[in-house]
Chain A
Amino acid sequence: MKRVLLSTFGTVAGLIALLTFKSQGHPLTTTGALPSAGLPGSGSSSTPTTAPPAGGDTSGGSSSAPPPAASSSSAKAASRTVAGDAVETRYGVVQVQVTVSGNRIDNVSFLQLTAFDGRSQEINGAAAPILLQETLSAQSAHIDNVSGASYTTDGYLQSLQSALDKAGVR
């Protein structure tokens, strides 16, 4: 569990770092999909300690909480929430909010996400979907979910998606 949490923090830090360096252009376009921009493996590997305060603490940050480095060895630091800058990406506006205790990120959430505008969404070359076009049995295809012509509540029971839901996460 701890390792999983650590990976989450790394993910968060990577995301914040990507969103913070907006002066470098479109930071999220390298991986295409916006929510995955900070996933480990997408190229970001910044360290968690440097990322959280950098986001745009517009109050100046001097009075809200002790600096992370100074508080790391003291008793439980007060939790504080910092909103990052809203960043314009090719997929729309993104703004994250981070809750920090000392130098630890407790939570990250989106304050703003892409606006409802399908026309602006693009699949860039690097992130083009792959189509495996062959007739397959669902068992051999290692699929996560199924797209098909709409099913009704009754039809769902016979659907492949229903079988996947029963099987749960593997």
Chain B
Amino acid sequence: MTSAATLPRPTAGYRRVVECMGTVFSFDIRTPGVGAAAVDEAEQWLRDVDATFSTYRADSEISRLERGEITMRQCSADVRTILAECEHLAVETGGWFSMYATGRLDPSGLVKGWAIERASDILARHGSIAHSVNGGGDVQCAGDAAVGRPWRTGIAHPLLPGRLAGVVVGTGLAVATSGSAERGAHVLDPHTGRPPDGLASVTVVGRRLAYTDAYATAAYAMGHGAQDFVEGLAGYAAFGVRVDGAMWCTSGWGNETGGSAG
């Protein structure tokens, strides 16, 4: 009875799909007893982030800042934090991550991953130790999918719709993919203002989605330089699919010792 091995797996969980920020967020909670109240708060958080950061809303803080109607000092703490982190990322990536890639102030390359990461934290504060939040294809997992079974996150194949290029298996990981299927090719080479070439998609894995997602965005923009870039990041691993279908991965991955995909 007290042995973990004899305990039943939770057979029921709580799921919700939320439309926000022009995409869809999928909540998948595997912790018994955590459900609607936790997701209500996380959903409200996402809507608040959208209201504050959306470049599509004329009344968002970001839009008002862009138009010069407010100053940085008048912005909320979250906005100032995000803009500072974007500046840091721009330096750290040698300009490959930029909140000005689209020609205007647009920190959404960091905001979405950060919003998902924080949504996951909200679920954790409600007592969840096992859940995942997927926002438009960027995933923050917490704990495991079931007792003794890590989350299995499929990587959508960028060249073969409906198929997977691989599966990421792990506990509490953040998985972010950036690629040519990105809406409106919103990942642009900050140096040329054009979509990058060379990579069909790159998937970066870390612990926390905000930076993991930002690094995926930067790596995709780098194209051929992506592998070396992620290789140099402590605590992150990457998997890339080139436009010719060839695949590569960095050395940060664990050894697969069994477990075929079934």
Interface residues of A (CB under 8 A from B): 3-8, 10-11, 15, 31-36, 38-41, 45, 47, 91, 107-111, 113-114, 116, 118-119, 121-123, 125, 127-138, 140-153, 155-156, 158-162, 164-165, 168-169
Contacts and interface: CB of A to CB of B under 8 A. Distances in A.
A107 B129 CA distance: 12
Given A131-B253, A146-B134, A36 B143 contact: yes
Interface stretch (B68-76, B99-107, B158-166): B158-166
A147 B7 contact: no
A47 B19 CA distance: 42
B182 A149 contact: yes
A8 B32 contact: yes
Contact of A161 (B26, B158, B163, B170): B26
Contact of A152 (B2, B17, B22, B161): B22
Interface residues on B, range: 35 or more
10 contacts: A41-B147, A109-B125, A113-B121, A127-B170, A130-B170, A143-B154, A144-B151, A150-B182, A156-B24, A169-B15
Contact of A123 (B147, B203, B237): B237
Contact of B261 (A15, A34, A132): A132
A128 B161 CA distance: 28
Contacts of A15: 129
A8 B121 CA distance: 19
A45 B261 contact: no
Contact of A147 (B12, B15, B168, B186): B168
B168 to A, nearest CB: 5
A28 to B, nearest CB: 10
Nearest to B255: A130
A131 B250 CA distance: 10
A10 B171 contact: no
A164 B26 CA distance: 10
B172 A122 contact: no
A147 B262 contact: no
Given A132-B256, A148-B156, A138 B182 contact: no
A41 B30 contact: no
Given A122-B207, A130-B170, A134-B166, A148 B181 contact: yes
